[in-house]
Chains A and B, each alone.
Chain A
Amino acid sequence: MTFRYILLLAPLLAWGQAAQPGDAPQPQPSAELLRRAIESFKVRTGDLGMRSGIVDKAAAKRPPTRWHGRIFWNLRNDVLDAVPHEVTQTGGNKGILRRNQYGFSLSGPVIIPRLLRASHRTFFTVTFEGVRENQGRSFLETIATLAERTGDFSQTVDTAGALLPIFDPQSTRANPEFDPSRRISLLNLQYLRDTFPGNRIPSNRLDPVASGELAHYPRPNAAIGPYFRNNYTNYTPERNEADGLRALLDHTVSDRQRVSVGISISNGFLGPAQVYDSAASPSRPGRRERARGASLRHTFTFSPNSVNSFQVEAETESSRAGDASGAGPFPRYSFSPYLGMGRREPASRSSRTDVEIENGFSLRRGAHRVRVGGAVEWDVNNDYEPEYPAGFFLFSRGLTSLPGIVNTGHSFATFLLGMVDGAEKTFVGHPSYWRQLEWRVGAQDEWQVRPGLTVSFGALLEASLARAEKYDRQSTVDLAAPNPAAGRPGALVFANRNGYGRRLQPAWYMFQQSVGLAWSPFADSRTVLRLGMERSMEGHDSQGGQWGTQGFNAIATYFTQNPQLAPAAVLRHGLPPLSTPLPDLRPEAANDTDAHLLDLSGRAPASHSYTLSLEHPLSRTLVVRAGAGFTHGWNRGADDGANPNAIPLEALQYRDMLYSEAFNRSLRPYPQYRRFSLNEFYVGSERGGSFDLSVGKRTPQGLSLQFQYEFSRRMDNYDGELQDYYHREKEWALSDISPHRVSVQYMYELPFGPGKSLWTTGWAGTILGGWAISGTSTYSSGEPLELRARFNNTGGVVRDLYVNAVDGVSAHVPQRGPERWFNANAFVNPPDFTIGNVSRRHPSLRGPSRQNHDLGLAKRFRLSAEREVEFVGTALNFLNHANWNQPDVEIGSLASPNTNAGRIIGSRGGRIMQLGLRFSF
């Protein structure tokens, strides 16, 4: 050591002497300089503990390595925010907002007094974060008017402003002059029914239960209109509290081994704003959430060309929602288009635990780099989510309408009469304990054929086992199983009974392949052409909750035999109890319900995709990339887009007879069920292509800019409800995606202050230095419009009725604006008992585009080399831009047009800001 210092002194002094002003440097031979430099390297690296053998000795002499960390506080307050445009338009103002987010993070080498000094081997990070937030939320809804609450509909009009007649269901009688050979119309009514005198329901006819429940229903407090619409606004607080901790310990066992262990803990409470403050509020209930996580990662380097990595991750989340006061849940009442009462899942609890064990081994041999790996994933979901424990009551206009005539009657009038169109009540005796297992093994080879050409091959075998219930309390309808009660196929079957497996659905063994190519076709290796082809498949998508447990739990369903003539139930009489106690494991236990149906076919969703891209640097700091892709997918999972119990469209010829529940059901393939509730039914297809262009620029001065444009066009035959489930080839339509998307992301360190090019010193440098800008701007063109008929008089055959095009009338308008976004006169409600001829999504009409601009500004103050304070301002939608709402796409009939069709009413958005302070050390 002493000798090293002696060696050091001479050049040091020589360097010092060389630095004396006016002295000429003494030229020294290159070899001598190198010799001294090498010796210096050895001495310095030894002193700094960078050499094997003297590391510990050297480290012992050094002071403990400092810990790094930060303390932060972020603040949001309504004073900083703009009034949301949707609130301004309703004449409202901002509500209170107080949000405080605070915490700290600390990281560095682990030190245990007397046991472990700071070393580079063991490193920790601990982060705590807390949130306390109270925020006002605005609501704008349409509710019953004061007059309507008393049964007075004398001022109630339709969307065209014409009086909406309310008919008395008690006055219903057959029309002796009805001619069944002619269509039902005002001139040929099947049933006669009288309007209430003065369009007012007498008070003695009001259902006492309905009248009583109205005590929990709000009264109008606004007149935004038109026609009494948007007559209720409210601004109520929302609470958000959370505390969380993350900790990570990273230990370098040796040069070849590294282990890291992490944990995370978080507790939170979300108290959503209530649209109105009463037990009947339809808003979601408050929810307590708890999350725990743990991870272990181990990396072992066998040799310079082979590495193994192993990791285990476990996460568990639980949530508990609902009123813990002990008061029973409020029933749910729905009388669209008015805001209803009561909520779905008024009290629920669930927990989800995922455990994943993964191992991967990478080996480089010759021109090949091979990766082999495998993983096992185990999901546990425990759910208790009764949907309507106090009942769900649906009211429609049918019972107060003139049978067979659209645009008559009102669902709220039907509610006041207590005449239920349909009802459900959920009986859940115990939680469901779902378990699902997946495993996969795969291999990939990257082969460097020659410099500038790399080909990769990948193969993955994946097994996806469908969900199982811990106590086998799982069921589904098997469309082939005999149903003794109905005398036809389609019966409820149960897990682990009668030859059915625990999982009901077959396991999927999926073999996926990929081929890729990266080629530099020119002498310049920085220009890269990439080609990719992939066949991929997806595993089971399992639904939790009590879905698929019929027989063990029940959703009692009450429906009318004719929604225009007879109620399913009467409010004041309540709902009858279950006819068969649970568990009810009969094959017919799901008869007359919306039966839960799993896809037992074994079809797995799959897709082929092809990509091509070219990347080329225009300069050292500017890179351009252009790419294109094509995808074809099949067996895509549909829920609304599948309906195995659909009535064929030919049945529309039966016209008003379809309103007879018995006749209607007789036309269904599985008449023992009203309809099917599906999770994923793998019957859809899609195909599409895309083109993208991106430009990236980075400069040493601290500018980073990414511009991206993407054009995409995709079509599918399964997304959303269809008119014709039996001719899916007719249902191809544009997918619900924006065709043009542009995004710009930027980060820039302003060129002022110390170390920069301008105002490097003085007050200007202090004030102007240390500023940084971050931002993101996005633009997306509108999605294809889904035009729908306002009056769906198809006897329940078609659930979502498209519209008809009017010949010779263009759908587009010359000067598009919110007053007239498209020409609604180009479309018309299809005649009764016919389907629309315009596709599910219009081929050329698009909704309004959207744009958003977010900006972050930061200013650093250096306190010392290791300490600084940073102020951060973040503004979302900093331009306070308003994006228009979607246009009204409901097309009325010629007799009763929707005057708002094609119009855009209102816009949304508003600037929100957050200020932050961070002390780093």
Chain B
Amino acid sequence: MRNALTCLMLAALGAAPALIEARTLRVAAWTRADRVLQADGLTARVNGEPAPVVRLQGPGEALMVLLVLDLVGDLNKIELAREGLVSAFSKAPRNLHLGILRAPGGLRVLLDPTDDHHAMARAIRGFPVSGAPALLETITGASGLADSIISDSPARVAVLYVTDSEIRNYREDFSNPVVNESDDRDLSRRFPEGLVRDRVARLSAMLAASQAPVFVVHLSYKTDRLDEAYQSGILQLASTTGGAAVFCRSDAEIPEAIRDMTGRIVSHYAVDIQAPSGSRGPLSVSLEAAAAGELDYRSRYH
């Protein structure tokens, strides 16, 4: 029985090429000035070709947020983040279900998606602060999970990372420290961001095919060259998925940044459009809705 079902499952997955042939793109979009985006009058183009809008879901419809906690450092900032998250999600509409995972040591579920605000608060306040940061190791996994859920149920799904990660604290060595102290004419470390840039570029290429937007709230703003490259990379990764990243320059900014980011997630429209058959390689998407005015949306896919 199990084998038969597995075969059925594989057969269903085997249908995926047809699905890819007529590829459905999930576009995260926002209206400006509180206008409402409606299906009527909404037109989409993929690589300049008209593309039918197969589904439009707005802020009033089902939303699942996958909250990934990547917090390993300053307890003060973490506590502010905890309270900011509890506050933000306690005011969330009932159509929002929050699932919580932690990143250090690999993605692990802390809370299944729920609209129970008390359960959310318990999970957020109770997770242990330990391990090494893992945003770069887990972001494709989290994004892939969200994409899988979208493929199973076309609800609105978004990923929200809350992180205090510093690039030097990763288990993998991105800082490329000096190996030979006696070699004082080493130029290879003049621009130390190379390894971070490589990893971000590779992740960015993977995320370019993702569907769910990824949002990142970073609890600190770093300006040393290596962390500058890291945080700039986070900004790129979030942008690639149609999401956004924000970096808090002060403790006071943390609750506000979380509130703003959850607000942005809640207010997003999920526009499912059908790419023309045979569309391959990079896809450029454009959306227009005269009634809604100017739109902010993800415009590039791979």
Residues of B within 8 A of A24 (CB): 54
Residues of A within 8 A of B231 (CB): 698
The docked-state distance in angstroms from the alpha carbon of A856 to that of B193 is: 11
Contact of A41 with B99 in the complex, beta carbons under 8 Å: yes
Residues of B within 8 A of A876 (CB): 187, 190
Give the residue name and chain of the A residue nearest to B235 (CB).
A700
Q: List residues of B (231-262) whose CB comes within 8 Å of A's CBs.
A: 231-232, 235-236, 238-240, 244-245, 249-253, 255-256
Contact of A860 with B198 in the complex, beta carbons under 8 Å: yes
B27-35, B141-149, B286-294: which lies at the interface: B141-149
Return the CB mask of B188-218 against A: 1 if under 8 Å, else 0.
1011011101100110111010000000000
Give the residue name and chain of the A residue nearest to B233 (CB).
A702
A879 at the binding interface (Cβ < 8 Å): no
How many CB-defined contacts (below 8 Å) exist between A and B? Answer: 370
Minimum CB–CB distance from B38 to chain A (whole Å) comes to 14
Contacts A34-B97, A37-B157, A304-B129; A48 near B145 (Cβ below 8 A): yes
Contacts A248-B173, A304-B126, A364-B76; A698 near B149 (Cβ below 8 A): no
Q: Give the residue of A31, A38, A129, A918 whose beta carbon is less than 8 angstroms from that of B64.
A: A38
A68 at the binding interface (Cβ < 8 Å): yes
Contact of B79 with A305 in the complex, beta carbons under 8 Å: yes
Contacts A16-B15, A872-B194, A876-B190; A2 near B2 (Cβ below 8 A): yes
Residues of A within 8 A of B105 (CB): 120-121, 252, 255
A88 at the binding interface (Cβ < 8 Å): no
A266 at the binding interface (Cβ < 8 Å): yes
Return the CB mask of B61-85 against A: 1 if under 8 Å, else 0.
1101010000000111011101000
A896 at the binding interface (Cβ < 8 Å): no
Q: List residues of A (478-522) whose CB comes within 8 Å of B's CBs.
A: 518, 520
Return the CB mask of B115-138 against A: 1 if under 8 Å, else 0.
000000000011111111000000
Q: List residues of B (73-115) whose CB comes within 8 Å of A's CBs.
A: 74-76, 78-80, 82, 95, 97, 99, 101, 104-109, 112-113
Q: Give the residue of B6, B23, B130 whose beta carbon is less than 8 angstroms from that of A307.
A: B130
Residues of A within 8 A of B282 (CB): 754-755, 760-761
Give the residue name and chain of the A residue nearest to B115 (CB).
A34
Residues of B within 8 A of A101 (CB): 183, 186, 188
Contact of A914 with B187 in the complex, beta carbons under 8 Å: yes
A20 at the binding interface (Cβ < 8 Å): yes
Contact of A68 with B172 in the complex, beta carbons under 8 Å: yes
B48 at the binding interface (Cβ < 8 Å): no
Give the residue name and chain of the B residue nearest to A43 (CB).
B152
A446 at the binding interface (Cβ < 8 Å): yes
Q: List residues of A (6-47) whose CB comes within 8 Å of B's CBs.
A: 6, 8-9, 11-13, 15-16, 18-25, 28, 30-31, 33-45
Q: List residues of A (117-155) whose CB comes within 8 Å of B's CBs.
A: 120-121, 123, 125, 127-129, 131, 133, 135
Return the CB mask of A827-864 against B: 1 if under 8 Å, else 0.
00000000000000000000000000010101010100
Residues of B within 8 A of A870 (CB): 194, 198
The docked-state distance in angstroms from the alpha carbon of A15 to that of B256 is: 37
Minimum CB–CB distance from B56 to chain A (whole Å) comes to 9
Residues of A within 8 A of B193 (CB): 747, 774
9 contacts between A and B (CB under 8 A): A50-B109, A120-B105, A125-B172, A258-B132, A307-B75, A453-B252, A525-B250, A700-B244, A874-B188
Chain A residues with CB under 8 Å of chain B are 1-2, 5-6, 8-9, 11-13, 15-16, 18-25, 28, 30-31, 33-45, 48-52, 55, 68, 70, 72, 74, 76, 99, 101, 103, 105, 107, 120-121, 123, 125, 127-129, 131, 133, 135, 240, 242-246, 248, 250, 252, 255-258, 264, 266, 268-270, 289, 291, 299-301, 303-307, 317, 362-364, 369, 446, 448, 451-454, 518, 520, 525-526, 528, 615, 617, 623, 694, 696, 698-704, 706, 745, 747, 749, 754-755, 757, 760-761, 770, 772, 774, 776, 854, 856, 858, 860, 862, 865-866, 868, 870, 872, 874, 876, 912, 914, 916, 918, 920
- A sample of 17 more A-B contacts (CB under 8 A), given A133-B185, A304-B126, A526-B249, is A18-B55, A19-B274, A20-B22, A44-B148, A44-B149, A45-B145, A48-B141, A52-B109, A99-B185, A248-B173, A258-B131, A291-B181, A301-B128, A369-B75, A520-B252, A774-B194, A858-B194
Chain B residues with CB under 8 Å of chain A are 1-2, 5-6, 8-9, 12-13, 15-16, 18-19, 22-24, 52, 54-55, 61-62, 64, 66, 74-76, 78-80, 82, 95, 97, 99, 101, 104-109, 112-113, 125-132, 141, 145, 148-149, 151-155, 157, 171-173, 177, 179-183, 185-188, 190-191, 193-195, 197-198, 201-202, 204-206, 208, 221, 223, 225, 228-229, 231-232, 235-236, 238-240, 244-245, 249-253, 255-256, 272, 274, 277, 281-282, 284, 300, 302
